[in-house]
Chain A
Amino acid sequence: MIEKLIDSALKYRILVLVAFIAIILLGLRSYQNIPVDAFPDITPKQVVIYTESPGNSAEDIEKLITYPIESALSGMAGVKTVMSNSIFGLSYVSVFFEDDMDIYFLRQQVNERLGGVEIPQGWGTPVLGPNTTGLGQVFWYQIYDKTGRFSLSELRQMQEYIVAPLYKGVAGVEEVTGWGGHEKQYDVEIDTHKLQDFGITYEEVVQALEKSNTAAGGQYLEFNKEQYLIRGVGLYSSLDDIRNTPIKALKGESITINDVADVKEGTSPRFGAVSIDGKEAVMGMVLQRTQTNAAEVVEQLKAKTAMVNSTLPDGVSVRMLYDRTEITKKAVETMDIALLSGMVLVGIVLFLFLFELRSAFIVILSLPISLLIAFLLMEYFGLSANLMSLSGLAIAVGMIVDGTVVIVENSFRKLHDHPDASKFEVIAGAAKEVSTPVTFAILIIAIVFIPLLSLDGLAGKLYVPMALNITFVMLGSLAVALILVPVLATYLLKPTAHHDNSVMRSIKKRYTPMLNFALNHAKQMFIAVSILFAISVAFLTQQGREFMPELNEESIMYRVTSIPGTGLSQSTQTAQEIERFILKHHGDEVQSVLSMIGRSEKGETAQANYMEVLLILKPDLEGYEQLSKTIDTELEKEFTYVQFTPTQPIAMRIEELLEGVKAELAIKVYGEDQKILDEIAANIQESIGSIDGMEGMEIESQLGQAQIKIEPDYQALARYGISVDEIMEVIRYGIGEEPATYMIEGVRRYGIVPKIKDAKIDIETIKNIPIRTHEGNMVSLDEVCRIDTVQGSSFIKRENMSRYLVISLDVEGRDIASFVKEADAKITQSVDLPEGYYIGWAGDFKNMQEATQKLMIIIPITLLVIILLLYMAFNSLSKAGLILLNVPFGLIGAIFALVISGVYLSVSAIVGFIAIFAIAVLNGIVLVSFIDEMRAKFPDVELKEVIKNATLLRLRPVLMTASTALLGILPLLFATGVGSEIHYPLAIVVTGGIISSTFLTLMILPSAYWLFYRKGSAVSQK
Chain B
Amino acid sequence: MSKILFSSFLIFSATFLGAVQIPTDTVQSRPFGATINVNAKVIQQKNDQHALTSSLEGYIEEYYVRAGDTVKKGSQIARLRSVALSKLAIDYQSLKTQYTHFDKNFQSDKALYERGMISRQEMTTKQIERDALLSQIKGIEVQLKGSNVNPTSLKNNGNSHYVYASASGRIGEILEPVGAFIKDEKVMATIINADAFYLQCYIPLKYSAQVQKGQKVLIKNNAPSAIYGQINRVLPSVDEATQRITALASLDKSTSLYLNQYVGATIYTQKDKNYLAVKKSALTFFQNEWVVFVPTVAKAHKEEKKEEHGKHEEHDDHEEEKAPYEARVVEIIAKDDQYVAVKGLKAGERYVSDKSYYVKSMLLKAAIGEHGH
Q: Does A780 contact B (CB under 8 A)?
A: yes
Q: Which of B12-20, B48-56, B109-117, B155-163 contacts A (4 or more CB under 8 A)?
A: B12-20
Q: In the bound complex, what is the Cα–Cα distance between A637 and B371 (angstroms)?
A: 13
Chain A residue contacts of B46, Cβ below 8 A: none
State which residues 632-678 of A face B: CB under 8 Å: 636-645
Chain B residues 192 to 240 lying within 8 A of chain A, measured CB to CB, are: 202, 204-206
Chain B residues with CB under 8 A of A808 = 371
Q: Is the CB of B243 within 8 A of A777?
A: yes
Task: Decide: B243 and A778 in contact? CB cutoff 8 A.
Answer: yes
Taken residue by residue from 257 to 287, chain B's Cβ proximity to chain A (1 for < 8 Å, 0 otherwise) reads as 0000011100000000000000000000101
B6 close to A (CB within 8 Å): no
Those of B332-354 within 8 Å (CB) of chain A: 335
Q: What B residues does A566 contact at CB under 8 A?
A: 357, 361
Chain B residues with CB under 8 A of A196: 39, 202, 242, 262
The distance from the CB of B245 to the nearest CB of chain A, in whole angstroms, is 11
Contact, CB under 8 Å: B288 / A641:
no
9-residue interface stretch from B130-138, B166-174, B299-307, B362-370: B362-370
- Do B357 and A570 have beta carbons less than 8 Å apart? yes
Known: A193-B264, A563-B361. A698 touches B369 (CB 8 A): yes
Given contact pairs A699-B369, A777-B243, A642 touches B361 in the complex (Cβ within 8 A): yes
Q: Which residue of B lies closest to A609 (CB)?
A: B361
Chain B, Cβ-Cβ closest to A193? B39
Residue A555, interface by CB 8 Å: no
A197-B262, A810-B372 as given contacts; A789 in contact with B361, CB under 8 Å: no
B247 contacts chain A at the CB level, 8 A cutoff? no
Inside 8 A of B243's CB, which chain A residues have their CB?
720, 777-779
Q: Is the CB of B369 within 8 A of A697?
A: yes
Contacts of A720 in B (CB 8 A): 243
Complex Cα distance, B371 from A563, in Å, reads 13
CA A695 to CA B1, docked complex, whole Å: 10
Instruction: Tell me, in angstroms, the Cα distance from A720 to B206 when the chains sit together.
Output: 15
Q: Does A902 contact B (CB under 8 A)?
A: no
Chain A, 172-204, contact with B by CB distance < 8 Å: what is the 0/1 string? 000000000000000000000110110000000
Number of A-B contacts (CB under 8 A): 107
Question: CB distance B39 to A641 under 8 Å?
Answer: no
Chain B residues with CB under 8 Å of A876's CB are: none
Chain B at the A interface: SS class? mixed
Known pairs A778-B202, A778-B243; A641 contacts B20 (CB<8 A): yes
**Whole-angstrom CA separation of A197 from B3 in the bound complex:** 68
B75 within 8 A of A: no
Instruction: Please give, as numbers and ranges, the residues of chain B lying within 8 Å of A643 by CB-CB distance.
Output: 365, 371-372
Neighbouring A residues of B204 by C-beta, 8 Å: 778-780, 783
Instruction: Establish whether residues B14 and A637, one from each chain, have CB atoms under 8 Å apart when the complex forms.
Output: yes
Q: Cβ of B290 and Cβ of A789 under 8 Å apart?
A: yes
Q: Is the beta-carbon distance between A194 and B262 smaller than 8 angstroms?
A: yes
Kindly list chain B residues whose C-beta atoms are within 8 Å of the C-beta of A570: 357
The reply to whether A764 and B373 contact each other, CB–CB distance below 8 Å, is: no
Q: Give Cα distance in the complex from A689 to B3, angstroms.
A: 12
Closest beta carbon of chain B to A939's beta carbon, Å:
71
CA distance A638 to B205 in the complex (A): 52
Q: Does B360 contact A (CB under 8 A)?
A: yes
Residues of A within 8 A of B128 (CB): none
**Cα distance A895–B34 in the bound complex, in angstroms:** 78
The interface size bin for chain A is: 35 or more
A694 to chain B, nearest CB (A): 9
Q: Is the CB of A696 within 8 A of B372?
A: yes
Q: In the complex, what distance in Å separates the CA atom of A556 from the CA atom of B241? A: 66
Closest B residue by C-beta to A689? B369
Q: Is the CB of B18 within 8 A of A640?
A: yes
Residues of B within 8 A of A642 (CB): 361
Q: Please provide the chain A residues from 680 to 730 with a CB less than 8 Å away from any CB of chain B in the complex.
A: 685, 689-690, 695-699, 701, 704, 706, 720
User: Measured between alpha carbons, how far is A698 from B3 in the docked complex, in Å?
Assistant: 17
Judge whether A77 is part of the interface by a CB distance below 8 angstroms: no
| CB of A790 within 8 Å of the partner chain | yes
Q: Which residues of B contact A770 (CB under 8 A)?
A: 39
- Given known A563-B364, A570-B357, A783-B204, contact A706–B285 (CB-CB < 8 A): yes
- Complex: how many Å from CA A1001 to CA B257? 108
Q: From residue 734 to 789 of chain A, which have CB atoms closer than 8 A to chain B? A: 764, 768, 770, 775-780, 782-783, 789
Asked if A644 contacts B372 (CB within 8 A), the reply is yes
A563 CB contacts on chain B under 8 angstroms: 360-361, 364-365
Q: How far is the CB of B334 from chain A (nearest CB, A)?
A: 11
- A637-B372 contact, Cβ under 8 Å, with A777-B243, A791-B287: no
Instruction: Tell me, in angstroms, the Cα distance from A879 to B231 when the chains sit together.
Output: 113
Task: Give chain A nearest CB distance to B343 CB in angstroms.
Answer: 16
A696-B18 CB under 8 A given contacts A563-B360, A789-B290, A791-B288: no
Could you tell me the distance between the alpha carbons of A221 and B202 in the complex, rounded to whole angstroms?
A: 57
In whole angstroms, how far apart are the Cα atoms of A637 and B19 in the complex?
9
Min CB distance, B227 to chain A, in Å? 16
Contact partner of A764 (CB less than 8 A), chosen from B288, B335, B364, is B335
- Cβ–Cβ contact B372 & A645, under 8 A: yes
On whether the beta carbons of A697 and B371 are closer than 8 Å, the reply is yes
Q: Which residue of A lies closest to B290 (CB)?
A: A789
Residue of A nearest to B239 (CB): A778
Q: Which residues of B contact A577 (CB under 8 A)?
A: 19
A562 located at the interface, meaning its Cβ lies under 8 Å from any Cβ of chain B in the complex = yes
- For the complex, give the distance between the alpha carbons of A699 and B366 in Å: 11
A641 contact from B10, B244, B362, B373, Cβ within 8 A: B362
Asked if A768 and B37 make an inter-chain contact with CB atoms under 8 angstroms apart, the answer reads yes
Kindly state whether residue B11 has any CB partner on chain A within 8 Å: yes
Quote the shortest CB–CB distance from A765 to chain B (angstroms).
Answer: 8
Given the complex of chains A and B, what is the CA–CA distance between A777 and B205 in angstroms? 12
How does the 8 Å CB contact mask read for A927-946 relative to B, with 1 for contact and 0 for none? Answer: 00000000000000000000
Name B1-45 residues within 8 Å CB distance of A: 1, 3, 10-11, 14-15, 18-20, 37, 39
CA distance A695 to B372 in the complex (A): 8
Closest to A770 in B: B39
Contacts of B20 in A (CB 8 A): 640-641
Q: Note all chain A residues with C-beta closer than 8 A to B285.
A: 706, 789, 791
Q: A777-B241, A777-B242 are in contact. Are A701 and B364 (CB under 8 A)?
A: yes
Q: Which residue of A lies closest to B243 (CB)?
A: A777
State the Cβ distance, A59 to closest chain B Cβ, in Å. 15
Instruction: Check if B64 is an interface residue, CB within 8 A of chain A.
Output: no
Chain B residues near A638: list those with CB within 8 A.
14, 18-19
Within 8 Å by CB of B361, from A641, A696, A790, A810, lies A641
> Smallest Cβ distance from B22 to chain A, in angstroms?
10
Quick check: B15 and A640 within 8 Å, CB to CB? Answer: yes
Shortest CB distance A911–B (Å): 32
Chain B min CB distance to A661 (Å): 15
Which residues of A607-652 have CB atoms within 8 Å of chain B's CB atoms?
Answer: 636-645
Closest B residue to A641 by beta carbon equals B361
CB distance from A630 to the nearest CB of B (A): 15
List, in ascending order, chain A residues with CB within 8 A of B10's CB. 636-637
> How far, in Å, is B209 (CB) from chain A's closest CB?
15
Q: How far is the CA of A687 from the CA of B38 in the complex (A)?
A: 57
Could you tell me the distance between the alpha carbons of A790 and B288 in the complex, rounded to whole angstroms?
A: 6
Nearest A residue (CB) for B264: A193
Name A637's contact: one of B18, B263, B364, B369 (CB within 8 Å): B18
A200 to chain B, nearest CB (A): 12
Nearest A-chain residue to B284, judged by Cβ: A706
In the bound complex, CA of A577 to CA of B20 (Å): 11
Known: A197-B39, A637-B18, A776-B241. 9 other contacts (CB 8 A): A193-B39, A570-B357, A636-B10, A636-B372, A640-B15, A644-B372, A685-B369, A791-B287, A791-B288
11 contacts between A and B (CB under 8 A): A563-B364, A643-B365, A643-B372, A689-B369, A698-B368, A699-B368, A699-B369, A768-B37, A775-B241, A789-B290, A808-B371
| A positions within 8 Å CB-CB of B | 193-194, 196-197, 562-563, 566, 570, 577, 581, 636-645, 685, 689-690, 695-699, 701, 704, 706, 720, 764, 768, 770, 775-780, 782-783, 789-791, 808, 810
Nearest 3 A-B pairs (CB), nearest first?
Answer: A641-B361, A197-B262, A791-B288
